[in-house]
Amino acid sequence: MKSDSNLEKVLAAGHFAVTGELGPPRGANLQAIKDKATHLKGMVDAVNVTDNQTAVVRMASWAVSLVLREMGMEPNYQMVCRDRNRLAMQSDILGAAALGINTMLCLSGDHPSFGDHPQAANVHDIDSIQQIQMVTTMRDQGRFQGGAEIDTPPRMFVGAAANPFGDPFELRVLRLGKKVAAGADFIQTQCIYNMERFAEYMRQAVDMGLTEKTKVLAGVTPLKSAGMARYMAKKVPGMDVPDEVVKRIADQPKEKQAEEGIKLLCEQIEQLREMPGVAGIHLMAIEWEHRVPEIVERAGLLPRPQV
């Protein structure tokens, strides 16, 4: 094993993995984290803790990760390249590893123009692929990016994100290949609604042998309403929500749309379990953590394996 990560163990044992997500609070509110986390405990194998997602300031992802750790959960510590240079990244990684964080996710980060501090300077000292190389070099070779030796390397299980739906389509799998070559142990994808296109993406990834080198967790997000479906379809960059998906939710009366969203999600999870190369799902129930127990139960994903 490369780490003590529960996610690594679950995947290594061949289980269909389930990861969840928790967005840190917009303040120093410890209770808010605990309230959200309670819904996820025992329901998922690891919980992604987002890092200033959509470029909006929130509590530090390492701090929230530690809270989850103390609650007996496995945090997947997210780190974006937008806000930190390589010095800050490496020191945060050492601190996180020393305090029991075993899993992390390397990301570029949304541009500051989307967030609450559009005036902010944009760091991007290194990009997400270089970040994967940096962390795996720290772990496997015991060296900082600058070359100096590390006393007690951080044993991180290292993940990366992938969007199967951005353009140009022909580059999506090639870029995934670059992330795998950089050392990504696992991949979590952007939310999938276009199953056909995702299946084609996975076919290419399997053909290239990428799924033998990394574990792909397919990203899914329940649609809570027709409004949300339309928003995802129109406003979120790089998201592919087919018209029939929007229509399926919108055709229901308002009070039944959430239920239809969960039904659709369960069907998707069923399909994903059968799809070659898919090693699990990453369930992003955005501000809907309290529905996660019901979703994983109905999708037949309980109980989570003890490894």
Partner 1 sequence: MITAERKPMEEIFRSVEPFGKILLVGCNECVTVCHAGGRKEVAMLASALRMGRLKQGAPLTVDEMTLERQCDPEYAEELALVVDQYDAVCSMACGCGVQTVAERYQGLPVMPMVNTAFMGSSEKNGVWAERCAGCGNCVLGMTGGICPIARCSKRIFNGPCGGSSKGKCEISPDVDCAWQLIWDRLKQLGQTELYSQIMAPKDWRSARDGGPRRIVREDMAI
If binding is defined by CB under 8 A, does position 237 make contact with partner 1?
A: no
Q: Which is nearer to partner 1, 82 or 179 (CB)?
A: 82
Binding partner 1 (rule: CB under 8 A), the pick from 29, 91, 113, 141 is 113
What minimum distance in Å lies between the beta carbon of 69 and partner 1? 34
The least CB distance from residue 93 to partner 1, in Å, is 24
Nearest distance, CB of residue 120 and partner 1, angstroms: 6
Distance CA 204, CA 174 (A): 9
DSSP string, 248-305: HHHTS-GGGHHHHHHHHHHHHHHHHHHSTTEEEEEE--TT-GGGHHHHHHHTT--SPP
Q: Which of 27, 42, 95, 118 binds partner 1 (CB under 8 A)?
A: 118
DSSP 207-228: HTTHHHHSEEEEEE----SHHH
Alpha-carbon distance of 82 to 124, in angstroms, equals 5
Stretch of 36-44, 106-114, 161-169, 287-295 contacting partner 1, by CB under 8 A: 106-114
* Number of Cβ within a 10 Å radius of residue 146: 8
Which CB, 113 or 141, lies closer to partner 1?
113
Cβ proximity to partner 1: between 29 and 113 the closer is: 113
Residue tagged 């952007």 (tokens): 190
Report if residue 300 touches partner 1, rule: CB under 8 A. no
State which amino acid sits at residue 192: I
Q: Which secondary-structure segment (H or E) carries 195? A: helix 195-207
Q: Which is nearer to partner 1, 39 or 82 (CB)?
A: 82
85 is an interface residue for partner 1 by CB under 8 A: no
| Helix or strand (DSSP H, E) at 159 | strand 157-162
Residue keyed to tokens 């659709």: 264
- List the x/- string, 122-151, binding to partner 1 by CB under 8 A: x-----------------------------
Chain residues binding partner 1 by CB under 8 A are 111-113, 118-122
